């Protein structure tokens, strides 16, 4: 695979991911654009959603083991992460709200499109003058409760679709059974209308 003329490191991971979409189904493995983590009772959660919906933020949960933030393979006996690291959005990143991601900002992490002070090297995570799509690429080991190797057995899997929904859509979805748990970019709501 050759990538030319890009100004975005995401092209590299998405390029390889496209190859996986071609190769994996031939082996009866499903490649998924999802985050993934696992609870103490080995219940695996997969987080699906468009860019910016919260796959990285919500799969990096210090009460659960992180399997991966973005690209997975799913087969009969389990889920595996395709990547060796994470690619987090870091616009408005703060220590208080996302401490685990904040703590990855150290030697070994590549920051992309962020604005920083050339003398102090302090990064202004609120500055979107280059783009709002600022990123931090870090090895998954930088997250303290990452699951290494990044594999989860599929005993009980929850599927979470991360969407931006109006109140009307939430009410509509709440009529579904089994009752879904809807996570939106403004928070988590277990439907109980």
Ligand X SMILES: C=C(OP(=O)(O)O)C(=O)O
Ligand Y SMILES: Nc1ncnc2c1ncn2[C@@H]1O[C@H](COP(=O)(O)OP(=O)(O)O)[C@@H](O)[C@H]1O
Residues 83-122 that bind ligand Y (CB under 6 A): 88-89, 91, 98
51 binds ligand X (CB under 6 A): yes
Asked whether the beta carbons of 154 and 32 are under 8 A apart, the reply is: no
Angle at 12 between CA 56 and CA 28, to 5 degrees: 75
10 binds ligand X (CB under 6 A): yes
Specify the residue, 77 or 94, whose C-beta has the smaller distance to ligand Y: 94
Q: Of the candidates 120, 119, 125, which has an alpha carbon nearest to the alpha carbon of residue 105?
A: 125
Question: Three-state SS for 150?
Answer: coil
The token pair that represents 144 in the structure block: 């303290």
138 binds ligand X (CB under 6 A): no
Residues 64-93 that bind ligand X (CB under 6 A): 70, 87
The token pair that represents 126 in the structure block: 């609120």
Q: Cα–chain-centroid distance for residue 147?
A: 14
Q: Which of 31, 38, 46, 55 binds ligand X (CB under 6 A)?
A: 55
The site for ligand X (CB under 6 A) is made up of: 10, 14, 51, 55, 70, 87
- Residue ranges that bind ligand Y, judged by CB under 6 A: 49, 51-58, 69, 88-89, 91, 98, 185-187
């Amino acid at each position: 695979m050759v990538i030319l003329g890009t100004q975005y490191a995401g092209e590299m991971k998405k390029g390889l991911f496209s190859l996986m979409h071609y190769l994996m189904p031939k082996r009866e493995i499903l490649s998924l654009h999802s985050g993934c983590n696992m609870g103490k009772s080995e219940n695996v959660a997969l987080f699906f959603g468009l860019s910016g919906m919260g796959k990285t933020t919500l799969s990096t949960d210090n009460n659960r083991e992180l399997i991966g933030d973005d690209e997975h393979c799913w087969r009969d006996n389990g889920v595996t992460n395709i990547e060796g690291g994470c690619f987090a959005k870091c616009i408005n990143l703060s220590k208080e709200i996302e401490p685990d991601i904040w703590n990855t900002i150290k030697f070994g992490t590549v920051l992309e499109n962020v604005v920083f002070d050339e003398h102090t090297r302090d990064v202004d995570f609120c500055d979107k003058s280059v783009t709002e799509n600022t990123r931090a690429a870090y090895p998954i080991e930088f997250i303290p409760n990452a699951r290494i190797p990044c594999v989860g057995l599929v005993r009980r899997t929850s599927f979470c679709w991360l969407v931006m929904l109006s109140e009307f859509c939430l009410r509509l979805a709440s009529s579904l059974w089994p009752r879904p748990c809807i996570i939106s970019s403004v928070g988590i709501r277990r439907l109980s209308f």
